[in-house]
Structure 1
Amino acid sequence: MADLSSTSPADLAPLRNPPWTLDEMILLLDLYRRAPQADKSHEAVVMLSRQLNAMAEFRGLARSPTYRNPVGVAMKLRNLGQQDPEFLKSGRAGLRNAGQLNAEVWTRYADRPDDLAGEVARILAGMPMPGVFAPNPRSSRGPAPSFGGYAANREDGETIVYLLEWNAPISALFPGRPVPVGHVVAKIGRSSDTRRRIAELSAGYPPTSALSWSVIAEYPHPGAQAAHDAERALLDHADAQGWSIGGEFVIAPLAALKEAARALAR
């Protein structure tokens, strides 16, 4: 048994999570602008939790088991919502004691998306992210060449029209282009396996990068033709609304995009 005779009560006290820093709040605001109602299971919340823990590890900060975990990040996100007039007008319950730093970050960056994107890029670029991805990932190699005939039997079945959200600063795609509050950079598509499609889309990114897509919503259709028709109708709707940025990609208000996709799935 360990000798605790020389251990002070302070040494035995559980670690308390420190207040959020300015850089952490900037990353949280970036998340809020993309997913203001995200809960603890949202992929972007989980990713931010991992990033914040990696930042703390880099600084050599002693952490409790609950340090910036997804539950805490989601709670802080709701706490930040106290600064959002749209959040307050909706009648949703926010958390009390929002804190001065919340107000300062909101005032400084909420209506300045370019400045916010620049700060997010600065934070992520200047901070190695050990623990967010596998350390020292091995290189991958393509399959060996093969020759001869190939036959495939394609069967119809349930096909999903999906909405994917870009989970990295917009400056990584379009430097200097703002995304209005409540809007997302999204991809509209169809597949029988959305997770496989995300893996295909991400194949061109380095495995250790912070570039990623996550699922906003999925709308199943009984067959590929029905899904194709719904996908085309949704893309036509995006064109008519001025959301399209080329191909199957849009910058659109999240609520309106989901409602349009939901209506076509009925």
Structure 2
Amino acid sequence: MTTTIEWTEATWNPTTGCDRISPGCDNCYALTMAKRLKGMEQQRGTARPKYQNDGDPRTSGPGFALTVHPDTLDAPVKWRIPRRVFVNSMSDLFHARVPVDFVTSVWRTMASTPQHTYQILTKRPERLARVLEQVHGALGLEEPLPNVWLGTSIESDDYARRADALRLAPAAVRFVSAEPLLGPLPSLDVTGIDWVILGGESGPGARPLELVWIRDVIGQCRTAGAAPFVKQLGSVWAKASGASDKKGGSPEDWPTDLRVREYPAAA
């Protein structure tokens, strides 16, 4: 499926649904979208298998229970044009309830479609090394797939440790998504990290972003050799500055030094 996410070109959701585990999840767009999609299909008298299972209301919501979809595993095989693919824009592939066998099936599809580049983002990087050891063993892989990028979300300094867990996982490219960035990241170590996405929050209840937080992380990237990618500055900043894009996503509105959208050298 095509997407408007600036740093990728398509999305693929072999699983859907998730559970909130940290403040970066509070305004989850996927949770809100799942509720809307479920309601739309009910009104039409049809049902989307992806959005019919309700999650725990304390951590999830309508249509957003963790659900695996084996029927979607071959979707990238049918895409003739090579593309960057965000895997699970509506879920987390390394959620505890995703079976290792299913993760192995996802890896098998990615191995069979080397023309695509897959970007996998998780808030649960502690599972990466352990699960991937089993996946690589099942598939007989001695090296990480060169077309698979592994990333973790870090929204505040309380979760900077996620980068440490990411470094332990076998990956051709490792990346951090600091979006939504909710505070400074003085403890973040981007050694061994190839790419850092930075962005503010948008939508209802958006929390503010201080530009100095982004500048500091860009400086860390320059020191460590990571590529920074500023996605947006958020709706709070956009409103305060009178930016043309309500999400603060138009670089022409930004200070010149923040107009940075680089990709990792390995790309």
Higher relative contact order (CA 8 A, sep 6+): 1
Query: What TM-score comes out, normalization by structure 2 length?
Result: 0.28
Q: Normalising to structure 1: TM-score of the pair?
A: 0.28
